[in-house]
Amino acid sequence: MALFKSAENKSNEQERKIQAMLDKYGLGELSDPMDVYSAKRIAEELVGTGLMETGMKIGLTKPEIQLPILYQRAIMEQNFIIIRQLNRISKALEK
């Protein structure tokens, strides 16, 4: 068993995490290619910074540190809701 992951394995794992995040927040069904690209870029940044895993680590920090992080996660999730709703509106207008 190798101690270090290969670049290909890291890339596959990163892509899997990104897709899992998009699916979790209902962004896997975006229809506009530019929206898909933007959502993937956002997911890459969030996965890369570890913000998505912050919930697991947050129990180890002080409350004054936890609160801004929780607010940021709430805003992020609200933004994803808005993106999904705009996508639904766009699909409805195309019909």
Residue pLDDT tens, the chain, 95 long: 556 667 788 888 888 888 888 888 888 888 888 888 888 888 888 777 665 555 545 566 677 777 787 788 889 889 999 999 999 999 899 88
- Nearest-angstrom CA–CA distance, 25 and 20: 9
- Nearest-angstrom CA–CA distance, 6 and 90: 41
* pLDDT reported for residue 82: 93
DSSP string computed for 22-48: HHHTT-TT--SHHHHHHHHHHHHHHHH
Residues whose CB falls within 8 Å of the CB of residue 61, separated by 6 or more in sequence, listed in order: 69
Structure tokens belonging to residue 2: 């190798």
- Nearest-angstrom CA–CA distance, 26 and 20: 10
